[in-house]
Structure formats: C-alpha cells, structure tokens
Amino acid sequence: MEKETIKVHDTRVTGISRQEAGALVTIALKGISFQPGQFLMVKTCDGEVRWGYPYLIEEAGPESVTVLAPARSDLYRQLPDSEVAVWGPRGRGPLADGDGTVILVAQPATVDRILPFLRSTSHRCRLLLMVGENPQGNCQLFNEQISTVCINGVEPLCVALEGMDDSQIIAALNPREMLEFRNFAPREIQQKTWMFMPTKIGCGIGACVGCVVHSSEAPFGIKICEEGPFLRLDRVDLEADIHSFVTRV
C-alpha cells in the first residue's frame, strides 16, 4: 500500500485569544476536520531554526482551525498575521463511537490537554475528576458544563473510578501520577482509560522514531504521531518510557 503523503501548508495566524490555560490561536486553513484528541503540527517562521510542535486542536471552521498554545510555546508568542507552516491533523481521537459517556481526569497543570473534549463533546462528558491538593481554581472553568470533583491523591482517584459505570475514561496526568495510577488501577480500569502520553514529538510526519513509546503489543513500539497522543493505558510499557516523558508545572 502506498504510504500516506503529508501535505505541509504555508499559512498565517489570523487571531490569538490569551487565556489562563494558554492562548487559543486561530490559523488560516481550509477544509480540515478533526476528532477531539488529535493535534496539528505547527512550525513558526520567525527564526533561523524552528521545529514543528504538536498543538491540540480545539475547533475547526470552513476557513480556519484553532489550537491551544501553552504559554511557553513558540506559537504563544506569535502575533496576528505571523507566518507559520502546518500539517495535520495527526494522531487518532480516543473517543469511542456512539454516544457513550466520558469521565475526564486531569491535574491543574495538565487540564489544557482535556479541554478539546470539554469544548467539542461536552454533551458526552459527565464528570471531571481533578487530582491535586487545591485545584478548585481550575474547576471553576467547567462547573457550568459538567460536574467536577476534587480528589487529593491518585489512590483515592482509582477507588472513585472503580465505583463508576462503564464510561470511557480520558486522562491527562504528569508522569509520576500516571505511573501511580497504573500501579493502583485494576486491569479493567486501565483497559478503558485513554491516557495522554507526554512524550516529545519531533517532525510528526511518521518518519521519525523519536516519538515511539514501548508496548508489548507492538515489537517496534507505538508512534505517537500516528496513534497518539492519547493511548489506552494497558498498551504502554510505562517503566520503559516514564523517564522520557515531560512534566508540566
């Protein structure tokens, strides 16, 4: 079978809305469709050397696509009408087909990773579990959409999830909490949890193996740029990759 050809678009930023979780950056791009959890590779053009970086897609219209740019990213610092190169969408959206409900799990530092699900599929998201000592400030952003429960610790989180129904779980945790979650959560919870894998993605076009995570199911690993960034937790060998994952503060 002929290998997929990835088209790179030279385009520009058309708008930036700076928010607490980062900047919502709108980029001129026609005809794009996406699923929550997919990302767009964006390369800024304001320096001699710039690498493409993955940004989660928030929404797409007939003439543009909007992504979330963290405050420390190159894209966050751009101005309207700045030139960028983009390709995507990349990865696979983790949402199961149908109208099944979704439970979201995040920490204050990682909540931006689950925002696309809140914005695009809020009708399916019935609960947000926030893990941390004092995450109430972040919770205020979502109280109008879905119920929010604050939980202090990963072990109580796993206990809470055991009492849930068969809802799909979409989670974004920092590496230490991710490993704790995997150690505490029973197998049936891991099998229905899609976890954000915070590994670094280079080119994002499927040719670079720098974004591969280890898996017992895949002898050559799983390419985040093709199947991620959300992967079913029980597929990933966390011990092999946890030290290369990026921690958010």
In the chain, where are the structural domains located?
A: 9-90, 102-244
Query: What pTM value is reported for the model?
Result: 0.89
Mean pLDDT value of segment 55-64:
94
Nearest to 121 by CA among 63, 59, 68: 59
Options 3.30.420.40, 3.90.1210.10, 3.10.180.10, 2.40.30.10; CATH for 9-90 is 2.40.30.10
Mean pLDDT value of segment 10-23:
90
| Confidence grade of residue 49 (pLDDT, cut at 50, 70, 90) | low
Amino acid 205: pLDDT = 58
Hunting for tokens 């990759």 — which residue is that? 241
Q: Please give the Cα distance from 191 to 45 (Å, whole number).
A: 41
| C-beta separation of 84 from 75 below 8 A | yes
Mean pLDDT value of segment 206-232:
85
Amino acid 1: pLDDT = 39
pLDDT digits (tens, 9 = 90+) for 160-209: 998 888 789 999 999 999 999 999 999 999 999 999 999 877 665 555 66
Amino acid 218: pLDDT = 87
User: Three-state DSSP class for 87?
Assistant: strand
Nearest to 224 by CA among 196, 189, 194: 196
Per-residue pLDDT at 120 exceeds 70 = yes
DSSP string, 33-76: ---TT-EEEEEE-SSS----EEEEEEEE-SSEEEEEE-TTSTGG
Q: What are the phi and psi torsion angles at 25 (to 5°)?
A: -110, 125
Options 3.40.50, 3.30.2450, 3.30.420, 1.10.101; CATH for 102-244 is 3.40.50
Q: Please give the Cα distance from 203 to 17 (Å, whole number).
A: 26
In DSSP terms, 71 is beta-bridged to none
Is it true that 9-90 and 102-244 share their CATH fold? no
Per-residue pLDDT at 113 exceeds 50 = yes
Residues 6+ away with beta carbon under 8 Å from 163: none
Per-residue pLDDT at 33 exceeds 80 = yes
| C-beta separation of 237 from 216 below 8 A | yes
